[in-house]
Amino acid sequence: MKVSERLEKIPPYLFAEIDRKIAEARAKGHDIISLGIGDPDTPTLAPIVEEMHRAIDNPKNHDYPPYNGTEKFRKASAVWMKKRFGVDVNADSEVLANIGSKEAIAHVFFAYVDEGDYTLIPDPGYPVYKNATIFAGGTPYAMPLLDENNWLPDFDKIPPEIAQKSKLMFLNYPNNPTGATADLEFFTKAVEFCKKYDILLCHDQAYCEMTYDGYVAPSVLQVPGAKDIAIEFFSHSKSYNMTGWRVGFVAGNAAAIKALGTIKNNIDSGVFKAIQDAATAAYDVDSKYITELNKMYQERRDVAQAGLKELGWDIKPSKATFYLWLPVPKGYTSEEFVTVMLEKAHVVVPPGTGYGQYGEGYFRIALTKDADTIRECIKRMKDAGIKY
């Protein structure tokens, strides 16, 4: 049986390929350390787990959930938005529960993109932006994220004829994979651009609580008038160590929330209510938990950067996310370098090209191992003669 043409256009999913390579290397007897996938290595915060124990025993949580999320979760999400960003959103019309950001991000393309439409996506960027465009029948247009622009897209470089055909723009700050940050001045430019061309601005806010050195990530919805054309995707995955729970929410423009909700209503049946109760409890956890998490990642960042500096890399300290985005040594492509890392140091890192064409020449490190393991990775690189 022949699969659809759209499926044939989709490359193998990056992290599935990483899992395959790890399995192959371990089958050969190698002790593999993976710094590939951004999956926290410490447990979900204790108060959240405790609430889940209570919620799962409640028979009222065992039936189908409301498609748009429980009233309790939506209201708590709206309260959190007000407390965290000073942004007012209506819990009934401007908030939608999602099964983690990934599914909602993928589904919004089906709500807005038709054959012949373009989408404006960051490159390098989360692979779902490009692949979901293709699934929906659209054409992805890459907005290059370059070092000289501090990993921010230059809206002036987007051809007007492309902008006029574009239905969505995706942004993601703090950024995966580069770790870059953006300020409200940048978001204001993005809002103005999308208003000019009647484009839905989608902001992926998965890493907004994972920040260091006093940096506080803003929301695009803080820009006056942003709700006219913007929605923001929030995830509990990274902030509260809840990657496997699959829960988050989308907030912003009511018409876009309704359109996304219509797609979801016809594809999924919502988030298990007990998980929504636990996710609601996450908003009220003592701030010390988040502070300690960020302190841990900051220590890992500092250990990795110090070790890489000894090996010749000159890196600016990242102020957010648990990623380091690094150039490969001269003479290597991204794919060649990560192969050397795997075969000689037995350390897994993804190639920059897994995030787009403009990722060539780079690789990403996820700080999802403890500091001692990161030191071991640096030692293996040194022993293997891997340096910049």
Same structural domain, 322 and 221: no
Q: At what angle do helices 287-310 and 371-383 cross, to 10 degrees?
A: 10
Same structural domain, 89 and 231: yes
Same structural domain, 175 and 317: no
Residues 6+ positions from 140 with CB-CB distance below 8 Å: 118, 119, 121, 129, 130, 133, 134
The model's confidence at residue 357, banded by pLDDT at 50, 70 and 90, is very high
> Which CATH number do you get for residue 147?
3.40.640.10
Same structural domain, 132 and 190: yes
Residues 6+ positions from 297 with CB-CB distance below 8 Å: 210, 212, 322, 367
| Residue 58: inside a domain | no
| Residue 52: inside a domain | no
Same structural domain, 297 and 341: yes
| Residue 195: inside a domain | yes
Residue 317 confidence (pLDDT): 82
pLDDT tens per residue, range 8-62: 888 776 667 777 878 888 888 889 999 988 899 999 999 999 999 999 999 999 9
Tell me which of 250, 266, 282 is where a domain ends. 282
| Residue 327: inside a domain | yes
Question: For residues 200 and 308, is the Cβ–Cβ distance under 8 A?
Answer: no
Same structural domain, 223 and 295: no
Measured CA to CA, the distance from residue 218 to residue 279 in angstroms comes to 21
Same structural domain, 131 and 158: yes
- 230 token code pair: 């913007």
| Residue 57: inside a domain | no
Same structural domain, 170 and 236: yes
Residue 7 has pLDDT above 90, yes or no: no
Same structural domain, 378 and 266: no
| Residue 368: inside a domain | yes
pLDDT tens per residue, range 226-244: 999 999 999 999 999 999 9
Range of the domain at 32: 5-43+287-383
- Residue 327: strand, helix, or coil: strand
Same structural domain, 26 and 73: no
Over residues 83-103, the mean pLDDT reads 97
pLDDT tens per residue, range 48-57: 999 999 999 9
- 228 token code pair: 């006219």
Same structural domain, 265 and 293: no
Tell me which of 258, 282, 306 is where a domain ends. 282
pLDDT tens per residue, range 278-312: 999 999 999 999 999 999 999 999 999 999 999 99
Domain count, the chain: 2
The model's confidence at residue 4, banded by pLDDT at 50, 70 and 90, is confident
**N-term to C-term CA, the chain:** 48
> Which CATH number do you get for residue 378?
3.90.1150.10
Tell me which of 261, 282, 303 is where a domain ends. 282
Beta strands in 206-329 (DSSP E): 230-235, 248-252, 323-327
pLDDT tens per residue, range 99-146: 999 999 999 999 999 999 999 999 999 999 999 999 999 999 999 999
| Residue 55: inside a domain | no
| Residue 53: inside a domain | no
Same structural domain, 33 and 93: no
Say if residue 280 is exposed, middle or buried (CB neighbours under 10 Å; 0-12, 13-18, 19+). buried
SS (H, E, C) 58-108: CHHHCCCCCCCCCHHHHHHHHHHHHHHHCCCCCCCCCEEEECCHHHHHHHH
